[in-house]
Amino acid sequence: MIVAEDACVFLLPDPVLLGPRAYAPERNFAENVLMLCCAFFACRDAFRVLSLRFERPPMHEGGRQEELIDDNLLLYGKRYRLSERECEVLRYVLVGKDNQNIASAMHLALSTVKVHVHNILQKTGQPNRQALVQDFWKTS
């Protein structure tokens, strides 16, 4: 498109298709359209990446995230009337552990962890772990 426009402007004496010549000295119309398209796609992709990070927040062990979890876990547990054991399981869920790893870390049977996770989801009214994590960080 840029090459065709340049050819019309520079080779034809009076281009009929483009109307009066009101150009910016740096770019022609096609280059401006190209820049707008690039900006649109860059913003769209940035929005997708940021929304993915909201839906699945990064899970890092240690550091500031675990401090924030410890600070807010007691309040969250009281709000939804979670037992102490459910709060312990919830902490592992928030860190990103799966049921098998939680069972190993807490020296529990896998079925016991599944029951605790199920009870946590029921008490908080969340459909899955991802929604539970989002709700915890939203309300904390």
At residue 24, the pLDDT reads 43
**Residue-wise pLDDT tens digits, 65-88:** 788 888 889 899 999 999 999 999
Domain residue extents for the chain:
2-55, 64-139
Tell me how long the chain is.
140
Mean pLDDT confidence for 117-128: 94
**Residue-wise pLDDT tens digits, 38-60:** 889 998 888 887 776 565 555 55
Is 64-139 a domain of CATH 3.40.50.2300? yes
Q: How far apart are CA 136 and CA 131, in angstroms?
A: 9
At position 10, the amino acid (one-letter code) is F
Asked if the model's pLDDT at residue 99 lies above 70, the reply is yes
